[in-house]
């Protein structure tokens, strides 16, 4: 792991990467130094323990943890570190991610674990939330985030213009 990384993305299985790659994409877009690795709470508990206990010493400021099924990884890492853990429930085959979501969101009081939506939207928002936190004392990053959001808003308004044009055409057809 690069000592300059400020965000770690961890996942319980390599198959979770299909979801967590969306968090990675946001971090790349915002040029946030990060690392990414598979750490299983069930299959590699010693690795999970060592990672969580040493992350702060390595300069990690935020951890994005994705897991499916029983989804113990985010909560277990939260229990082992004071670094904020942003949890992403990965969609499971059996229960479509509801099991993952409930496993993460029901952390007992005293072990905070921020939990996001199931799947791609959750991974995207976890990365954006990490950027919001990092931007608290970084004006350049805050401006970049503001610009990014403004561009998305403008794109949404373009969609409104398209819908309005369709409505006008439809009205002309019904009148004529």
Q: What is the CATH number of the domain that holds 121?
A: 3.40.50.1970
The single residue listed with the structure tokens 């993952």 is 100
**What distance in Å separates the CA atoms of residue 1 and residue 132, rounded to the nearest whole number?**
23
* pLDDT tens-digit readout, 39-69: 999 999 999 999 999 999 999 999 999 999 8
Query: Model pTM?
Result: 0.89
* 1 falls within a domain: no
Identify whether residues 128 and 152 lie together within a single domain. no
Same domain? For 159 and 95 the reply is no
Contact of 43 with 69, CB cutoff 8 Å: no
Q: Are residues 97 and 19 in the same domain?
A: yes
Q: Domain range for residue 161? A: 139-175
Is 137 annotated as belonging to a binding site? no
Residue reference for tokens 């198959």: 15
Tally the domains of the chain: 2
Lowest mean pLDDT among 31-40, 92-101, 138-147: 92-101
C-alpha of 170 from chain center: 40
**Is residue 2 one of the residues assigned to a domain?**
no
**Residue 148 and residue 125 share a domain:** no
Q: In this structure, are 31 and 110 located in the same domain?
A: yes
Counting every residue written for the chain, the total comes to 176
Strands (E), 90-149: 114-115
Q: What is the pLDDT of residues 86-109, one digit of tens each?
A: 999 999 888 999 999 999 999 999
pLDDT (average), residues 73-86: 97
| Residue 171 marked ligand-binding | no
65 shares a domain with 95: yes
Same domain, yes or no, for 151 and 123?
A: no
Q: Is 43 annotated as a binding residue?
A: yes
Residue 97 within any structural domain of the chain: yes
Within a domain: 61: yes
Q: Quick one: 65 and 144 in the same domain?
A: no
């Amino acid at each position: 792991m690069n000592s300059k990384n400020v965000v770690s993305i961890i996942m319980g299985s390599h198959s979770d990467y299909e979801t967590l790659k969306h968090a990675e994409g946001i971090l790349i877009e915002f040029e946030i130094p990060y690392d990414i690795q598979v750490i299983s709470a069930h299959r590699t508990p010693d690795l999970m323990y060592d990672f969580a206990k040493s992350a702060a010493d390595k300069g990690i400021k935020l951890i994005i943890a994705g897991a499916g099924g029983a989804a113990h990884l985010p909560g277990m890492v939260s229990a082992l570190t004071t670094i904020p853990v942003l949890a992403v429930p990965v969609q499971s085959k059996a229960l479509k991610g509801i099991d993952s979501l409930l496993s993460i969101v029901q952390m007992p009081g005293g072990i905070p674990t921020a939990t996001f939506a199931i799947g791609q939207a959750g991974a995207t928002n976890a990365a954006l939330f990490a950027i919001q936190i990092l931007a608290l004392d970084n004006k350049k990053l805050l401006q970049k985030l503001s610009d990014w959001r403004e561009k998305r808003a403008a794109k949404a308004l373009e969609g409104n213009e398209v819908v309005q044009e369709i409505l006008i055409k439809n009205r002309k057809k019904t009148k004529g």
